[in-house]
Amino acid sequence: MLRDLPLSGVVVVELSDSASAPFSGRILAALGAEVWKVERPSGDSSRGWGPSTWKGSGAAFHAINRGKRCISIDIKDQAQLGMLHQLIAEHADVFIHNLRPGTSASYGLDADSLRVTKPELVHCEIGAFGHTGPLNDLPGYDPLMQAFSGIMSITGEEGQSPVRAGVSIVDFGTGMWAVIGILAALYRRQAKHCGASVSSSLLETAIAWMSVGIANYSADGELGARHGSGVAFIVPHRAYPAADGYLIISAANDALFAKLCAALDHPEWARDERFATNAARLKYRAEIDGLIGARLARETRAFWQARLQAAGLPVAPVQTTDELVHHAQTKALGIIETPPDDEIGLVGLPLSFEGKRPPPLHAARDIGADNDRLEALLKVHQ
């Protein structure tokens, strides 16, 4: 077990709701920071998310809020707001919030206000559409940003309804970008003894995920198309149906494609002028995909995994959640952990230091569970 986590001694105050900012706090807590999660009296919205619940709160809340002290503060109440200001002024190295633009200033929680009295504070604001521009004051959630950014225009099957990614890639990605900014600011503070104002937003993250698509558009006006489980620029590189489920096969160059053809008992495909090069296969995508799919459908996933892996081909089954959780590789990584004071399996930090993953964090706590601790802490310093 790691004794000294990288952020040991760093204190974070996280005034947050939903997913992006809480995910930032969860990462910082896993890296060793002491994180004070500030909820409104009714609690974080994700406490009510379904369909799965654990100990009265949505399982999603437990996934992104463990390892934190939980306090309940009504920032509309002046006395309680004063306690939050005191906690930040006397103890915080980092303050994270995802209040709507303009709201933080009305409570004196914006960077300009807080850094007047504490210039070394790292202030991180996470927004929806960004912190400037005609839409900056609008609320937003992950699916809105997948739509607005164009991600949904290239996701799913051609001719079908738009599809969002099945996980909150924009929420979690924004939380990660915020952490990157916070870590950079803490690093600079060591040398220059000054804080920083860090900002990120859901839309900026979604636009970042469109980097290749935007580059393609800038180069030749290409808007991109939907290719289901495939991609625009490589064939074959998608899911194909085996007899008992789907397999992703990636033959990302012509040499791998030739190996694939041999493993499928059709070496002649690699010599067919329609398929011999990736450029040709892009033009005849439907034809080669149909041939590969028909061949794979005759045998099981396990059969093809064994044969294709032996041939040196990148291949993976399309697994359900239970298959992932119980797979030997997942178990070997030890990334699904059980907090020491709980029984629910949760994903740990996807990082290791000296070959060791940061230890499991304590379970997510009830609304206001640490209010007494907060009052005792602040009274000591009055």
pLDDT at 308 (0 to 100): 97
Tell me the CATH number at 26. Answer: 3.40.50.10540
Pairing between strand 245-250 and 315-317?
antiparallel
141 lies in the same domain as 273? no
Rounded-to-integer distance, Cα 160 and Cα 144, Å:
19
Does residue 169 sit within a domain?
yes
Give the CA angle between residues 76, 77, 80 to the nearest 5°: 115
**Helix/strand/coil for 71:** strand
Question: Which range has the worst mean pLDDT, 5-14, 48-57, 201-210, 268-277?
Answer: 48-57
Residue 3's pLDDT band (cuts 50, 70, 90): low
Residue 265 backbone class (left: φ over 0; alpha: ψ -120 to 50; beta: rest): left
Residue 381's pLDDT band (cuts 50, 70, 90): low
68 lies in the same domain as 163? yes
Rounded-to-integer distance, Cα 247 and Cα 234, Å:
16
47 lies in the same domain as 183? yes
Does residue 128 sit within a domain?
yes
pLDDT at 1 (0 to 100): 40
72 lies in the same domain as 149? yes
* Phi, psi values for residue 6, rounded to 5°: -55, -35
85 lies in the same domain as 132? yes
Q: Quote the number of domains for the chain.
A: 2
**Helix/strand/coil for 68:** strand
Residue 222's pLDDT band (cuts 50, 70, 90): confident
Q: Is the pLDDT of residue 343 over 90?
A: no
Q: Is the pLDDT of residue 198 over 80?
A: yes
194 lies in the same domain as 299? no
* Beta-bridge mates of residue 39: 72
Helix axes 169-192, 20-30, angle to 10 degrees: 50
Mean local confidence (pLDDT), 17-27: 95
Does residue 37 sit within a domain?
yes
**E strand map for the chain:** 11-15, 34-39, 53-54, 57-58, 68-72, 94-97, 122-127, 196-201, 237-242, 245-250, 315-317, 336-337, 346-347
68 lies in the same domain as 150? yes
84 lies in the same domain as 185? yes
Does residue 159 sit within a domain?
yes
Per-residue model confidence as pLDDT tens digits over 261-318: 999 999 999 999 999 999 999 999 999 999 999 999 999 999 999 999 999 999 999 9
Does residue 120 sit within a domain?
yes
Does residue 228 sit within a domain?
no
What pTM was computed for the model?
0.91
Residue at a domain's end among 268, 293, 317: 317
Note whether 358 and 29 are within 8 A (CB): no
Identify which of 171, 182, 9 has the alpha carbon closest to the alpha carbon of residue 95. 182
pLDDT at 236 (0 to 100): 95
Name the residue range of residue 145's domain: 11-209+333-380
174 lies in the same domain as 293? no
Does residue 180 sit within a domain?
yes
Identify which of 25, 161, 39, 150 has the alpha carbon closest to the alpha carbon of residue 95. 25
Q: Which of 17, 110, 171, 370 is catalytic?
A: 171
* Phi, psi values for residue 367, rounded to 5°: -60, 125
198 lies in the same domain as 63? yes
Task: Report the chain's mean pLDDT, rounded to a whole number.
Answer: 93
* Phi, psi values for residue 114, rounded to 5°: -70, -35
Residue at a domain's end among 317, 342, 367: 317
Mean local confidence (pLDDT), 356-375: 91
Helix residue ranges per DSSP H, 159-316: 169-192, 202-209, 211-220, 254-263, 278-283, 285-296, 301-310
Residue at a domain's end among 317, 341, 367: 317
Q: Percent of the chain scored above 70 by pLDDT? A: 98
Active site residue 341: no
187 lies in the same domain as 75? yes
253 lies in the same domain as 168? no
Does residue 222 sit within a domain?
no
* Beta-bridge mates of residue 70: 37
Tell me the CATH number at 285. Answer: 3.30.1540.10
Rounded-to-integer distance, Cα 26 and Cα 33, Å:
9
Per-residue model confidence as pLDDT tens digits over 37-87: 999 999 888 899 989 988 888 999 999 999 999 999 999 999 999 999 999
Per-residue model confidence as pLDDT tens digits over 149-168: 999 999 999 889 999 999 99
pLDDT at 100 (0 to 100): 85
